[in-house]
Amino acid sequence: MTYLVNGRSFAEEPRPGQCLRTFLRELGHFGVKKGCDAGDCGACTVWLEGRPVHSCVTPAFRAEDREVTTVEGLGSPGDLHPAQRRFRDAPGFQCGFCTAGMIMTSATFTEEQKADLPRALKGNLCRCTGYRSIEDAVRGLSAVETAAPGRAVGTSVGAPAAEDVVTGRAEFTMDTRMDGMLHLKVLHSPHAHARIVSVDRTAALAVPGVRRVYTWEDVPRRRFTTAIHTDHLVDPDDTYILDDTVRFAGQRVAAVVADTVGAAEEGCRRLVVEYDVLPAVFDPEEAMASGAPQLHGSEDPFVRDSVHNLLLEIHSHIGDVDAGFAAADVIHEGTYVSPRVQHAHLETHGSIAWMEDGRLNVRTSSQSPSIAKVKLAYLFALRPDQLRVFCKRVGGGFGGKQEVISEDLAALAALDTGRPVSFEYTREEEFTTASPRHPMKLTVKLGAKTDGTLTAFQVRNVSNTGAYGNHGGETLYAGGAAVMIYRCPNKKYDAYSVYTNTVPSGALRGYGMTQPAFAVESAMDELALALHMDPLQLRRRNIVRPGDPLVATHDGPDDVMFNEDGLAKCIDLVAGSLARTADQRSPGPGWLVGVGAASSLHETAPPTEHISEAWITLGDDLVYELAVGTVEFGEGTSTAHVQIAANQLGATPSRIRLVQSDTDRTGFDTGAFASAGLFVAGNAVLQAANAVRDRILEFAASHAGVHVVMCSMDDEDVVCGDVRVPLAELVALARARGIRFTAARKAYGSPRSVVSNTQGFRIAVHPVTGEIRVLYSVHATDAGVVINPEQVRGQVDGGVAQGIGFALTENYQVDAEGVMANPNLRNYRIPTFADVPRTELLLVGSTDSVGPMRSKGMAECCINPVAPALANALRDATGVRYRELPLTPERIYSRLGQSRPARTGPAR
């Protein structure tokens, strides 16, 4: 057989049944990505005889004697194809994992297809961008700007890796080949709760190519938590690498290591496991009841109450809520339900581990290589110098990679076999074993006077942490932000994080605030209806203002700086935009139209300790090397860090060479989550850049014989009064004296500030089909000083898109045995291009008191008000309040038939 790929002929023959995607990657074409292996996401798109195909569902033999083109063959850095250039200049990507597929699909579009992008792009998914920038790229719109020396902040400069991303050269975790690599696969439990009596490995070890089988008896018996925080004590150490008890359907039972993925999978199938099946409980309310099956025994020191399956409970109050309700003229009470939500980052979890010079190396898809290293060193009793953990570009995270869930088994096998070991999750494993958003049931009770002034505010939150604690405690505390947003003298917050025999829950964009925001903001609209008040006016009357204490679960001191009235401005901007667009009409006869809005506050860093260290060194080539541990997975921190450094050093971004996310080459960094990649690591970069700049200026002033205040940086020169001294000359002089222009600085996540967000929607609802169409979407936020306007817009677009998925389309279905019933992208239904509207972004002209360059992180907070704004618009359109997500057509229709709609026609 002969295969022609990117103009080069290959004589290799594919294996029987092999798909074109894996065949091309084995030939070294790593621009062809794996997102689903089911033809759902389009990340693997290539051209076959000039036509785009999904290579994961195309048999490799069909490419025999036919021309195959991958994104690498379309163009190269410095010689881009027009489609690649458009995606670079829009920019039409964030993490970049879907980008090759998007380019290969859209590069073939006719004008007719460009006029119908919802149809033309239906086979390509993106989880990051919200599709607006992809549409701009397809249409040839450019937003990337060139920054002048020392003027990078405030400019939409392109990402440092842009050309590598659009040409497929950017390396992601699994984009490498190593001699002698073994492959690891996992056998998962079919039972929600069982003891493992025995594992017979005989048949598995007889499979040709199988090298090892590991069970709970073969791994270090050390408890740990998969959750990533600097302070590991905030999360329960309730997990083992492999255990003799399984607590959810999908939990690891055994790991098989083999020469090929197929042999490892066959080895898993041949394992014979005897289980002692135990009673299971799936509902957290039932799990708290007396007599419920217990997941973790009384000997477990990390469980608050093993009898009632409680990981953590919070009981706090401020004032007297009973007196507050007694003083109220109107009381509203309702219960709101938020389901599991999967991150669905297109790059699945994966790690590659190997030994080199007696050291363990782990290349992984993680949001925090530094803490992954700490955990692995603990698990395997390694000294820090015996271990390196690093990331290449990561294909999306959204909190899902704020866990150590693939690194441990890969490391175990590499340490044991001495050979490289690859462990890559399938899409089904992502859905059934990785950590989705916590399902929460919240009961909100509000009391108010007739003028709308809140007198009492009570919330009961029951959170399903699943079989293990992971982020169960921290997300429970984080939910207090939804209570913090409104002034009220009497508040009560009761919250429970409960173990059940379901997949462990974890961190997801919004981190414990998205679910309470849905509940509280829906309840505020219901209270406004009972008061016959405009919902936005009710909010204006009660929102916290500068000078007010940010009171949620306690009234003690905290480290949050609250100096701006950003929330009121956000509400006013959204209200004005909804009024300005009020002439928008329904799509046709019979449609119901409504408007809705919701708000949120979000702290700019987590309350747990967050640390980041940045190093900057000026090289002989006059390029500044910036080393920072933060990972880039689409949140844009690498671009912002380069901009901050260039701004302070009087340079252009092209003179900053970024080294990141490698424990051998960068300092400690807690991780890129909770917007800390900008807020904390950005401050470290700022301080290091200022220190290097000051050293250069002091040296230049001494050399020129002037006072340092007369010196300034100007690209490749230093201006000293009336004299320009070339930076090259200063570097040479400094080197001769043994002086280096270098500095390291650390920053911490305290004090913190807050970000305000308000989302507004105008929607149309069809009462017969239950379909929702978004007619208008507007989002206002106080971003502080904007480092990169296009990146801020992109983060909001992506957050709104994920919020729409959370509210409308994403349906994590679990059967009666605790097993996910729809573990694939096609049936889970993240938003497609056709599902996501363009959102008008309104920026409050604000600054921040503690953020780098007075900026605020935008990657996380924007999702929080989206679902309640949609639910409020649905109530406005139909007259029916829906208190459970997602708002699927079936759920909408089932209740519209029982209630007369409030009105039809155009929105107010």
Summarize pLDDT for 160-186 with one digit per residue, the tens: 999 999 999 999 999 999 999 999 999
At 796 the three-state DSSP class reads helix
For residues 591 and 899, give the distance between their C-alpha atoms in angstroms, rounded to a whole number. Answer: 15
Residues 6+ positions from 588 with CB-CB distance below 8 Å:
none
Lookup: tokens for 423: 């462990």
Q: Is the pTM of this model over 0.85?
A: yes
Question: Following DSSP, what letter does each residue of 581-611 receive, concatenated?
Answer: TTT---SSTT-EEEEEEEEEEEESS-SS--E
Please report the pLDDT score of residue 504 as a whole number: 98
DSSP letters along 85-104, please? Answer: HHHHHTT--SS-TTHHHHHH
**Coil/strand/helix, residue 711:** strand
Which residues, 6 or more positions from 834, have their beta carbon under 8 angstroms from its beta carbon? 118, 119, 122
Supply the pLDDT for residue 298: 73
In one letter, which amino acid is 905? G
The owner of tokens 């329904």 is 586
CB 459 within 8 A of CB 515: no
Say if residues 697 and 664 touch (Cβ distance below 8 Å).
no
**Which residue is it, tokens 């099956």?**
293
Evaluate whether 799 touches 600 at the Cβ level (below 8 Å). no
Give residue 61's pLDDT. 96
Low-confidence ranges of the chain (pLDDT < 50): 900-908
DSSP state of 395: -
> Distance between CA 698 and CA 708 in Å, rounded?
6
The predicted structure's pLDDT at residue 899: 52
188 conformational bin, left if phi > 0, alpha if psi -120 to 50, beta if neither: beta
pLDDT of residue 847: 80
H/E segment holding residue 391: none
What are the CA-CA distances from residue 684 to residues 550, 653, 691 (Å)? 27, 17, 11
For 348-490, strand residue ranges (E) read 350-356, 359-364, 387-390, 421-424, 440-448, 454-466
If DSSP codes are grouped into helix, strand and coil, which group holds residue 62?
Answer: helix
Q: Given CA atoms 596, 601, 605, 609 in this order, what sign does their dihedral have?
A: negative
What pLDDT, on a 0 to 100 scale, did the predictor assign at position 300?
67
Q: What pLDDT is recorded for position 691?
A: 98
Tokens of 608: 């747990």
Amino acid 197: pLDDT: 98
For 658, the token pair is 């970024």
